[in-house]
Amino acid sequence: MREIADRVYVLGTRAHNFYLVRSGDELTMVDAGCSKEWKYVADGVEKIGLNIDAIKSVIVTHAHSDHFGLATRAETESIDIHVHHDEETRALGRYRGRFSASSRDMPVWRPHVLRMFVPMMLRGVTDLAFPDHVTTFGDEEELDVPGRPVAIHTPGHTEGHAMFHLPDRGVLFTGDGLATMNLLRGGQDGPQVLDEVFNLDQDQTYASLQHIEEIDAGTLLPGHGPKWTGSPAVAAQHARARRTGAS
């Protein structure tokens, strides 16, 4: 675990990120990693001089297994789990639509794909259990958790996908609505929308970029890829330009 922005710490592997936000001696976890990553969280919290009970809340961009894997563990630790209200059925295991991309959807013969997904598999990305309860939030709601993030509903990757803005730190967590690496072909070449195989509705994913263009932030922290320094408006332009260039 390392500090990647002002009192914001990143965990995960080269292929996926989740984060801790510190406010005083309390923490909010932004996304919940894979199901076998609790020990990495506990070790990371110790490194910054806190105990695991400093984590007061988990806020979730969406309920896929690489962002929600520790939800049941968090629940056993009496940590509140927050999702957008349109993500509630996914988060509780009641969703009956297309849940997420599977290994059958991906070119696993590509060396890059194996390098990306094997570490995630070792950390439990193929295992997902659902909590009994979640707390829901709405669009543009300031959450009453350490760091006071503001939620921005950005559907497309899933119906209830959300990003989180820390206004006082100029940080935007983009989840899987905006990445900085290509999971299928490799490369860390700036802001981009994930390949269509990963998104429930590709057109809506692009349309949701307009919801972040007015946000005042200078650091974007994605679910996949390195941090990106620049405004959300410029990031959205980059992503749209990539789509135009690929068409």
Question: Edge to edge, what strands does the sheet with 219-222 contain?
Answer: 150-153, 162-166, 171-175, 219-222, 228-229
Provide the CA 18 distance to its chain's centre, in angstroms: 6
pLDDT-derived band at 221 (thresholds 50, 70, 90) equals very high
Residue 63 in this model has a pLDDT that exceeds 60: yes
Provide the CA 151 distance to its chain's centre, in angstroms: 12
pLDDT value, residue 158 = 98
pLDDT-derived band at 153 (thresholds 50, 70, 90) equals very high
Q: What is the pLDDT of residues 224-241, one digit of tens each?
A: 999 999 999 999 999 999
Residue type, 217: A
Which of these, 80, 56, 81, lies nearest to 67 by C-alpha position? 81
Question: What is the domain extent for residue 101?
Answer: 2-246
The DSSP H or E segment spanning 48 is none
Calculate the average pLDDT of the chain.
94
pLDDT value, residue 183 = 87
pLDDT value, residue 247 = 41
Q: What is the pLDDT of residues 2-46, one digit of tens each?
A: 999 999 999 999 889 999 999 999 999 999 999 999 999 999 999
Domain count for the chain? 1
| % residues pLDDT > 70 (the chain) | 95
Residue 246 in this model has a pLDDT that exceeds 60: no
Tokens found for residue 14? 């080269």
Tokens found for residue 54? 């400093």
Which of these, 180, 178, 247, lies nearest to 213 by C-alpha position? 178
Q: List for the chain the helix, strand, coil content (%; round to 5).
A: 30, 25, 45
pLDDT value, residue 185 = 80
Residue type, 143: L
Domain of 66, CATH number, reads 3.60.15.10
What backbone phi and psi angles, to 5 degrees, belong to 19? -140, 160
pLDDT value, residue 220 = 98
Q: What is the pLDDT of residues 84-141, one digit of tens each?
A: 999 999 999 999 988 887 667 666 667 777 777 888 889 999 999 999 999 999 999 9
Residue 50 in this model has a pLDDT that exceeds 90: yes
pLDDT value, residue 108 = 64
Number of neighbours of residue 37 by Cβ within 10 angstroms: 24
Task: Find residue 29's DSSP bridge partners.
Answer: 20, 58
